[in-house]
Amino acid sequence: MSDNLYIDLLKKVLIDYHRMEMGETPPIQRNKGQKPRYMLLYMLERILKNSAFTIREKIPFNRERRLNGVDWPAYADSMVGLKRMDNIEFCVNDTIKNNIPGDLIETGVWRGGSVIFMRALLKVAGVTDKTVWVADSFEGLPKPDADKYAADKGDNHYVFSNVLAISQEQVMYNFEKYGLLDGQVKFLKGWFKDTLPTAPIEKLSVLRLDGDMYESTINALDSLYPKLSKGGYLIIDDFGVVPGCKLAVMDYREKHNITEEIIRIDDAGAFWKKLN
């Protein structure tokens, strides 16, 4: 199989494209604010407010939402849709082509699909001197620290740990499934505020943020953006869909006088190339 065919197939497998083509109806969780279809379930939810029970229900599989990566898919190894996978491919390949120094990292990996894809891209290009860093609590999102980060007030991502907390062992297994777990993959386990300031990373060529919250985004920017090489890429997965994430990015840009144009990938994702 040619490299192009492998990469094309891999990205579709990682987002579960083949399943949507079969028109299956997997159990998926509803998005926040979306009402369940059954009145009884709705009433139970009101009683068990915020319990894990609230988000598991069989609802019709929405092909468009999966393709655009705006759902929490039941089976896919990445929540990202096809356009954001294409964007990862573009950024990684562009930095390799232009000899931009530094490793690759995603802060917030869930089942690992995006970092698995990064490792595959390095392998296909024969790059052996770059590491893919896999940073996550592996126990879901933190409770909001609203005293410090007002934008996170009321954020309830942490409640959904039954869906969002994927163990490091599971992510390692997912890498193994694709034959991509090796010494070029390193794990940073813990809350970003604890792991990122002291992470043994010298330089980065691709910095992908997918931690949803203001705190998770600003922690990653504070610790890692200074390590991003000129010519490297910052990718923000939730820029268009999580206001706290966007605010963290805008605050950081203002504080550090960053003027590079923000390019939208799709309704959610955005990125820019670091020029200075």
Q: Which residues of this chain interact with ligand SAM, rule CB under 6 A?
A: 78-80, 106, 108-110, 113-114, 136-137, 140-142, 164, 166, 191-192, 210-213, 215-216
Exposed (0-12), middle (13-18) or buried (19+): which is 58, by Cβ within 10 Å?
Answer: exposed
Nearer to ligand SAM, 79 or 207 (CB): 79
CB of 141 to ligand SAM, least distance (A): 4
Six token digits for residue 182: 């090796």
Exposed (0-12), middle (13-18) or buried (19+): which is 126, by Cβ within 10 Å?
Answer: exposed
Nearer to ligand SAM, 45 or 238 (CB): 238
**Residue whose Cβ sits closest to ligand SAM:** 108
Whole-number Å distance between alpha carbons of 146 and 111: 27
Nearer to ligand SAM, 208 or 227 (CB): 208
CB 60 within 8 A of CB 240: no
Partners of residue 28 on adjacent β-strands: 57
Name the 3-class secondary structure at 142. coil
Using H for helix, E for strand and C for coil, what is the string for 55-114?
Answer: HEECCCCCHHHHHHCCCCCCCCCCCCCHHHHHHHHHHHHHHHHCCCCCEEEEECCCCCHH
CB of 242 to ligand SAM, least distance (A): 9
CB of 257 to ligand SAM, least distance (A): 26
Nearer to ligand SAM, 110 or 233 (CB): 110
Nearer to ligand SAM, 100 or 218 (CB): 218
CB of 50 to ligand SAM, least distance (A): 18
CB of 259 to ligand SAM, least distance (A): 27
